[in-house]
Amino acid sequence: MDLKGKIVLVVGGAGGIGLGIGKALAAEGCRVALADTDEDGLAKAAKTASADSAFVWRTCDITDRGQVSKLFQWLGDELGPVDILVNSAGINVANRMMSNIDPADFDRMIEINTTGTFNCIHAALAGMRQRGSGLIVNIVSLAGKRVMLLAGLPYCVSKFATGALGTFVNLEECGNGIKVTNIYPGETNTAIVDKRPTPPPPEKREKMLQPEDIAACVVTVAKLPARAVVPELVITPPHMMLG
């Protein structure tokens, strides 16, 4: 499927996996909008685009449904209705065990990682239903399939919930021409690993997945014909293989 001219919204697009996906889809001829809470990051991300694949961008707190509604209104005015929604926003914290978690951090992670994703999907679906087509890609995590001490309690809980959200919407909307793909990456070299109690050294980061690896998966899924649905995609570095 030719992606040229498709309108893409990448939520969590200021850096990391989100920006990598935005660049990859722009290279395919998509018209890409980036959304994030990080205004400086968005401005810097926009400068990384090539002349023929410029990004438009807007700040948005996806936990605020009013802001999410305005984001989609802005996108419609700026580029048009969204064809591909990529949900890549997510956070983690250093104190992530049951023994040291701040309950406020737990709530905040559920609010961003899960409820924020719900808010964006909910806002996108009306237009997709009307047109009878659309693709939603949720960047979940391997911690949404396997409980991992490394990832921490609130992250695992939020990512399991986000995986269930995407799977349910896929089941409900597939008959309406809307496809949902949950991608479950293993360790990926992004800023989120800096939040670990002990951030990994450069030599360990080199062995992790890189944002462009996940981006290549998204492009492949987006190019599939309407008859092909990819409900789940797991991608890991060799040291995190699942049995």
Token couple for 14:
């200021």
* 155 noted as active-site residue: yes
Give start and end residues of each alpha helix (H) in the chain: 16-27, 39-47, 65-78, 103-109, 116-131, 153-173, 202-205, 211-223
Residues 181 and 233: their CA atoms lie apart, in Å, by 7
Burial bucket for residue 166 (CB in 10 Å: 0-12, 13-18, 19+): buried
Packed helices 65-78 and 116-131: angle between N→C axes, nearest 10 degrees:
40
Contact assessment for residue 93 and residue 152, using Cβ atoms and an 8 Å cutoff:
yes
Q: Which residues pair with 137 in a beta bridge?
A: 86, 181
Are 189 and 209 contacting, i.e. CB atoms less than 8 angstroms apart? Answer: yes
Q: Exactly one of 57, 106, 155, 184 is catalytic; which is it?
A: 155
Which residue in 112, 139, 231 sits closest to 180, CA to CA? 231
Which residue's structure tokens are 């809980």? 157
Region class of 19: left (phi > 0), else alpha (psi between -120 and 50), else beta:
alpha
**CA pair distance 156, 27, nearest whole angstrom:** 33
Catalytic residues: 155
